[in-house]
Structure 1
């Protein structure tokens, strides 16, 4: 009797063990199927928005390769008010397809307003072996501060211009301007021929002028530090409608006591500078401004000669004193040999130097450098 009960007990125990083993085999896949959700966020200050990145991963036993989402719900909060939003790349699967691979993470992004306080994603998965999750899997991110838009000011820039103008002397005026709408000073460099270079800083809405001498104005280049190309790089145009200055006139005369030279400069002329050097005694310089008439005299003696000269003069001839025939021997003084007769030359650039040539008839031509002329007559 006891043996029978022992055998029955053993049989029941064996059956229970087999049943438990079956349950373990059936339950093994259930413990291997699950999913998880993660989220990160960054503030896009250019737009004042949160950029959220959501990642869904699923796990399944070997041989299970694909899955679908039977649930994918995203919500965001502003305070206590919740509203749904869409995550690009993560959504509930339509139909019976299993589009996602177990081996690859499912990643989606969503932009949220900068003042949201919380965002969540809740999912459920079903694998291609028909196993379904019974519980939701979710992730939530909370924002302790807002994502504000940062306005970056545009880079400072100048609005430079250059105007190049020649005058009748050949000098050039370079006008440098910086527009009123500029947000920084303009840094100009003006370079002429030879070694001429000048720099200038011009504030927004301001201007200034740089003068380039004629000798350096063969070619002018104007650049600004922030510009790739020169503002001006050329030979300046010549001035128009220039009026030539008036011509001076000169004369000389021999008296019984002196050799006298006279230069008359019209009001519209230019300054005349002449140096008279006698063959004996000290030289004398005559500077005649526009609108002036000046004379210079040398005490007469036999053999007196006076040579006029000026800087750059190529050809000079001395003028000799000739005693007038009317002079009384031993008398102090006398009358000139004849009246003063001024002659004018052709109008040109400016009077810088001169020369006088004694003519057979007594007329003397005084030639001034740089193409200006003064004529003296006896």
Structure 2
């Protein structure tokens, strides 16, 4: 019994003396996440402290952190976990201490070692540490900027007098998405267009809807153009094509001459007898159409801008009339000498005058003007 009692007393004493050592200790944990925007590891370190009842605070007597990059160990600091001055115990035992550190994306491992001292001046016997190994690198991922269009609208007032307005819509070649345009005019006019990068298209706004024009693009906060189109200025009329007529004894001939600074014109000539003919005359060209002369022939011209579209009748020139060979010439008997011709040839003059008057008729006027551009 004495031996047994002595043994129990010894064990109790050992437990009493050993309890402070087992009760004072720290536990370190670590987690990590890859920040792809920066290409860095974000490590989070947590230290929990344990001490007997009655011990309230502690300090770090040791706090050492190391990372390994390309086989080389490099120290780093952990925000919130650092050595405190002796006698200063900033950390409550009941609250975990959490610190963070950013590490290079190519780090392969990292570790943190601490040793605590409590406000009862008890020192942690052994270091407490935690480490982490990275199985892969944390690479920076470049996020492309949001797709954007580079829209542009050019509003062109028309010089031809019809009042229509051309709206040219463009999307810059550097754009990373299609441009979605909406063109709005007055009295309910609305049209949309989608323009790919580096392309353009044109929308015509009729004169009745062009009092005010608004151009918007889906990705833009403000309208690209929002105003009344300016009046066209410095409009210059190009050369005008001219038409002339020639009447011969057996044909009615129309000729259209277009100057080099003119615009391609089309003239349709429709006779009352026979098939119609069409003349397409480009700038700098001259074209003719010939109709066989018959009694009662008329030809009606048609063309854009034609001033007078009245039918033109063929008239037989006076020079086509000749004396009957079987009729004796005036002033002499059969076989006698002819009298000399005196005075002006009245019939020839009359025929020539009619031809000159016909040649002076103007068939049409086609106007083309230079445009003025207004850029939003």
TM > 0.5 between the two? yes
Q: What whole-Å deviation, never above 9, does each CA across 1:310-353 have from its counterpart, x for those lacking one?
A: 26779754455667788869979x96644222589xxxxxxxxx
* Matches of 2:110 and 2:367, distance apart in 1: 92
Alignment correspondent of 1:244: 238
SS at match of 2:356: coil
* Matches of 1:227 and 1:331, distance apart in 2: 89
What is the TM-score with the length of structure 1 in the denominator? 0.60
SS at match of 2:47: strand
The alignment status of 1:263 with 2:255, answered yes or no, reads yes
Out of 258, 263, 279, the residue aligned to residue 287 of structure 1 is 279
* Matches of 1:117 and 1:299, distance apart in 2: 104
What is the TM-score with the length of structure 2 in the denominator? 0.60
The aligned runs of 1:218-257 (5 Å cut-off) are: 242-251=236-245, 253=247
* Structure 1: 5+ residue stretches without partners: 1-8, 345-363, 373-378
* Matches of 2:182 and 2:124, distance apart in 1: 83
Alignment correspondent of 1:140: 130
Higher relative contact order at CA 8 Å, sep ≥6: structure 1 or structure 2? 2
Alpha-carbon distance, 1:119 to partner: 3.3
The alignment status of 1:123 with 2:102, answered yes or no, reads no
* Matches of 1:276 and 1:80, distance apart in 2: 97
* Matches of 1:64 and 1:274, distance apart in 2: 113
Out of 7, 26, 33, the residue aligned to residue 24 of structure 2 is 33
Alpha-carbon distance, 1:108 to partner: 1.0
Alpha-carbon distance, 1:153 to partner: 6.9
* Matches of 1:116 and 1:305, distance apart in 2: 102
Alignment correspondent of 2:364: 368
Alpha-carbon distance, 1:147 to partner: 2.8
Point out the more displaced range, 101-110 or 263-272: 263-272
Q: What whole-Å deviation, never above 9, does each CA across 1:75-105 have from its counterpart, x for those lacking one?
A: 3456886554321101122142322122211
CA-based RMSD:
5.5
The aligned runs of 1:158-177 (5 Å cut-off) are: none
* Structure 2: 5+ residue stretches without partners: 326-346, 369-376
* Matches of 2:324 and 2:168, distance apart in 1: 65
> How many equivalent pairs are there?
329
The alignment status of 1:98 with 2:89, answered yes or no, reads yes
- Maintained 8 Å contact 1:66/1:98: yes
Q: What whole-Å deviation, never above 9, does each CA across 1:135-170 have from its counterpart, x for those lacking one?
A: 123223253656354353745968857685979889
